[in-house]
Amino acid sequence: MLNYIWLALIVLGIGVALYGDIGDLSSNRYHNGEEVAIVILPSAEGDVPFRANRTYHCTITVDKSSQSGFFGADTGLVAQKCDLVTSSDREGALHIFPDERTPALWREILKGLRNPEFLGGRVKWNATEGGPITAMLRLDEVKFVNMNAVTNDGIIKYAKTAVELAIGLIGIMALWLGIMKIAEQAGLIAGLAKLLKPVTTRIFPDVPADHPAMGSMIMNISANMLGLSNAATPFGLKAMEELNKLNNKAGTATDAMCTFLIINTSNVQLIPATVIAIRAASGSANPAEILGPVLLATFVTLVLGVTIAKLLARLPFFRKQLEVQG
């Protein structure tokens, strides 16, 4: 079911992006094929006149009278560092390098380019005798900005990240699971389960101490505390199956079921192996430094969860609902 939800979200995201791109193309939001008047300021006096097949460092400013038509409003001073690569003494390619002064429209255009390091365009000018040079700039055409953002910056980027992270986790998780398996074979889980038995019998007074459900719940809690989520899952399923045998109200979760679910969700973590492995795979300098905060946070959530479950179970409203459903 979760896979269908993710698929629906991806299709919805692509559909919304495509709808926005079609609207942008119909209104020519990014001014494809249009020219805007600019002024080129060479970095050095010796750069002019421009000669063919050379690269010049310069600054461009957008003519004030052109701003309202091109950007939709007067954006103030638009001054951008750029490189001018001349193809003749009258025209060339312009590479505009974005900074904090870059207009919002140009930032959006950058999202639709395959090379986001600079904003490209063609520029033509008449005379280069010296000083500022008036020219006309036509930016490279850009289409489907939203689709590129969803596919390249969204789906593809995070899919690649997920694969890299998963591969990095394999070795670390294998190490931790191996250590925990040795601990399990050595009787560590069984010993921890024995220590937890006096506590669990008080938390689950409706479950007989010698009932199979009690043993499965204790083993599930013990495995979760040591970070053995894979080993804990079968115990959890078995515990719910056994608890259902004590349920005389079919289709209604008992107090023990609800309490066990809360404990399973917010169980105290002595060794959060999965989180440590993720931190290590992500390049953390000290992946195990979260042991203290995780222990404290899970202990608090466990106490609060169990307390709330016990309090709600005593409220007349919930007792009445159970009676009606029974």
**pLDDT per residue of the chain (326 residues) written in tens, 0 to 9:** 556 776 787 778 778 888 888 888 888 888 788 888 888 888 877 777 888 889 988 888 886 666 666 666 556 667 889 999 998 888 899 998 888 878 777 887 777 676 668 888 899 988 666 667 888 888 888 888 777 777 666 666 666 666 666 665 566 556 655 665 676 677 766 676 677 778 887 888 888 877 878 877 887 787 777 776 666 777 788 888 888 888 877 777 888 888 888 888 887 777 777 777 778 777 778 888 888 888 888 889 888 988 888 888 877 766 655 544 44
Q: Which residues pair with 79 in a beta bridge?
A: 61
Q: Look at the block and give the residue holding tokens 């024995």.
A: 194
pLDDT of the residue at 9: 75
What pLDDT shows up at residue 130?
62
In the DSSP assignment, the letter for residue 107 is H
End-to-end CA distance of the chain: 30
Residues 6+ apart with CB under 8 A from 101: 77, 78, 79, 80
Bridge pairing between strands 133-139 and 36-42: antiparallel
pTM (2 decimals)? 0.47
* pLDDT the model gives residue 326: 47
Angle at 140 between CA 135 and CA 142, to 5 degrees: 140
pLDDT of res. 275: 78
Say how far apart CA 227 and CA 267 lie, in whole Å. Answer: 10
Residue environment code for 26-38, b if the CB has 16+ CB neighbours within 10 A, otherwise e: eeebbbeeebbbb
- 214, 217, 219, 223 alpha-carbon torsion, rounded to 10°: -170
Contact between 179 and 171 under an 8 Å Cβ cutoff? The reply is no
Q: What are phi and psi of 215, to 5 degrees?
A: -65, -40
pLDDT for position 118: 86
Q: Where are the alpha helices (DSSP H) in 27-156?
A: 64-71, 104-111, 145-150
Q: Which residues of 205-224 are buried (b: 16+ CB within 10 A; e: fewer)?
A: eebeeebebbbbbbbbbbbb
Residues 6+ apart with CB under 8 A from 267: 221, 224, 225, 298, 302
Residue 208 has a pLDDT of: 82
Long-range contacts formed by 24-29: CB under 8 A, 24+ apart = 24/145, 24/146, 25/143
